[in-house]
Each structure stands twice: as structure tokens, then as C-alpha cells.
Homo-oligomer: A and B are copies of this chain.
Amino acid sequence: MRSASMGFALLPLLTGQIALAQATQPQTPPAQTAPAVEDFKPASSNQGGKEYPQVNSERRARFRIVAPQAQSVRVPEWGGITLTKGEDGAWVGTTRPLDEGFHYYRVNIDGAEVPDPGSKPYFGAGRWGSAIEIPAQDEDFYAVKAVPHGQLRQNLYFSTSTNTARRCFVYTPADYDKDTGTRYPVLYLQHGAFEDETGWGNQGHANLILDNLITAGKSRPFIIVMDNGGNNFAGGTRRSAPPAPGGAGVAGGRPRFDFSAFAKIVTDELIPFIDANYRTLADQPHRAMAGLSMGGAQTRQITLANLDKFSHVGLFSGGSIAANDPALTDPAAFTQKVKVLFVSYGSKENTAAAKANHEALERLGIKNIYYESPSTAHEWQTWRRSLYQFAPLVFQD
């Protein structure tokens, strides 16, 4: 677990904004004042046919774990939910109202941290584990609808720099296999720390967001590539790209984290693989990169070091660019290369630096977009909404 610990410890130093997903949830005890409204229904994140966990109209979650001989059953998230044993041997507990969107959680049975057998599995927080979907008022934009659907394609490719087979997922828009004379722009879209290449499909619904945007005529059809940015252990036979030796540390008084191994994979292996195997528009004006949290930090590092390769940049809860950043020494040159610079946060995150940077860049004449997701924290609803806002802006040449 060495590199995970390293990433966890160092990332908060990087921007003051990046942290393990979920870590910014307030660690206060659940409110026990008012009884819950008894209109609970199975969560949409459940395994088919599973009645629990459930969600009610107040956005409370209710967990139920059958463990007849257990001494204690808890859900450690949200300040700690202590479940109570009923006469049927099942333990039940209810949360305070939660934020809209998607939350990882665990179940602790007599000291064993295990997945809830009611939840579908999601990779996050460094493990395949449980999560609960709290219905959001705007959930329509990532709903499965009777519209033309693109494909989500698993690709295996050999990486010479790591001497491993790597996996990436590629979203191709609905008409990709029909308009075989058409070439498409590409967005490279990265997960956060302790997540992996399955995150944007399974919990982010990137494919459904694009299906719906494209059908509504709000977004140009483009390809999305989702690779494994490391700092997790999802790989099985695959291995995450390790930090370069000596790469993490303090340089010139400024903490930094070195994503150079992953950067090399992106520029020297992944992009060539995608351009060789998909009908891409394989040039700088038609290549974007975005990422959430750690993936945003990777996006910033990789795009700013490769402005000959990327023209659109999205940082979702993953830092922003200060006016004194060396990349902005020549603002006019920067704006000529970077057509869209998009920074977003959840309103419950610490947004002060990003807002200040946004305004400072505007004063420099660098047009950039700042988006704030209402009433969400450092979690997937912020990032789903960020993609929904970002996608219509890109590749508008």
C-alpha cells in the first residue's frame, strides 16, 4: 500500500483542494432529532432485486444487514451510523439527509470492514466496495433514456514503458460505426485518487451524459478515453504507474507531486494507441483532457507541459491555475493554444482559491470558465455535473 499512502499524504499539499473522495464529508454525528419520513425505496445503486439499502424523500439512507450473531454493526461514514438489531436478527440504521448524488460507504461487522451485499460493486476509496445513489433533482441528464446509445469499449494495450498490459475504456458516440467517413475529437478523462478506469463509466455515467447531450444537440459527438491514472491497486495483473523515483517532494518551496510516469504513458503510448485504433481527429485542436481531483492535477500537469497536443482543459475539483503560473507568462500565446479552460468545484468544497484564480486570469485576458455544482461536496455528483457543463463547450471550431 506504499504508493497509495504516499498519494494520500501528499495530495492535500498540492493545491489545498485535492483530497480522497468522501474525505470532505463533515464528520459530525447523525442528527437523531426528528423521525425519518417512512417512504424509503431501494436505491438505484443496489444489486437487482435487493431491498436494501434504501433512500427516502428526505435523502436519508437506511441500511439493513442480516447478521444474527453479530455484536456490533456499523456504517463508518457520515460520522458513524450505529445499526440496531431487530428481533429478526437484522441490523438497521438510518442516516441524516445526505447530499444528492453518489456516496461510497462500508459496513463494519464486529470489526470486519466488508461490502454491503445489497450494493452493486464500485471501485473507489482503493477498493471494490459499496455505494449509495441519492436521487438528485437533475438526475435526468445521466438517466438511461430511449435515445441512441454510444458504446463503452474495453481495450487492452501493451505498454512498453511499464512492460504490462493496460486497460482503458473508450466511449464512442452512437453514430461512430455508421458514419465511417467521420473522424472525431477526443477527450481524455481521468478518475480521482483511489479510483480507476471504471469510475467514469460505472459511477460517473460519462457515456449516458454524452448520449443525452448529443441527442439533444447540445454537444458535438466526440470520443472519450478513460485510462488508469495510478495511485490505486485496481490492476490485478496490471500495475499502476508508480511515481518516478525522487519525484515527490518539495521543489523551490512549492510542494509538487510527480505524475511523469503516467504523463509519459498518456503522450507516448495511450494517445498513439487511440489514434491508431479509432477514427480520431489526431491533432491539437481536437484533443482535450479533463479529470477529477487527482485526475485534475494530472490534467493540469500533462496539458500545460504539452500545449502542442491539447487545446481544451477541464479541472474538476482538482485545482486551478494561478495568474503567476509559468504557463501564463505570455497570456496571448496561452489563449491562442487553450481554447477552453474549465475549472469546477462543488459548492461545499473550499472554492476560494479557484474563484480568485478565475478572476485573476480574466484580468489577464485569459478567458476561463468557473462552474460550481450546487450543494455538493468532493463527490461524483459534482463531477457528473462538471462533465455535463464541460462537454458542450469543447471542440466548437
Which residues of A line the B interface, CB within 8 A?
1, 4, 44-50, 65-73, 89, 107, 109-117, 120-121, 127-129, 144, 146, 149, 151-158, 165, 170, 177, 180, 201, 207, 232-240, 277-278
Contacts and interface: CB of A to CB of B under 8 A. Distances in A.
The 5 closest A-B pairs by CB, nearest first: A48-B233, A49-B233, A67-B112, A121-B121, A68-B111
A49 B66 CA distance: 29
Nearest to A277: B177
Contact of A155 (B151, B170, B233): B151
B68 A110 contact: yes
B151 A237 contact: no
B152 A157 contact: no
Nearest to A235: B48
B151 A67 contact: no
22 contacts: A4-B49, A44-B236, A47-B234, A47-B236, A48-B235, A48-B239, A50-B233, A66-B113, A70-B110, A70-B111, A70-B112, A89-B111, A109-B114, A110-B110, A114-B117, A115-B121, A121-B128, A146-B158, A146-B165, A151-B155, A152-B153, A154-B207
Nearest to A121: B121
Given A115-B117, A149-B157, A128 B67 contact: no
A232 B114 contact: no
A273 to B, nearest CB: 11
B68 A69 contact: no
Contacts of A44: 236-237
A4 B111 CA distance: 33
A166 to B, nearest CB: 10
Contacts of A67: 109-112
A156 B165 contact: no
A111 B69 contact: yes
Contacts of A237: 44, 144
Contacts of A121: 115, 121, 128
B111 A107 contact: no
Contacts of A107: 114
A120 B236 contact: yes
A154 to B, nearest CB: 4
Given A128-B47, A151-B155, A154-B152, A112 B66 contact: yes
A151 B236 CA distance: 19
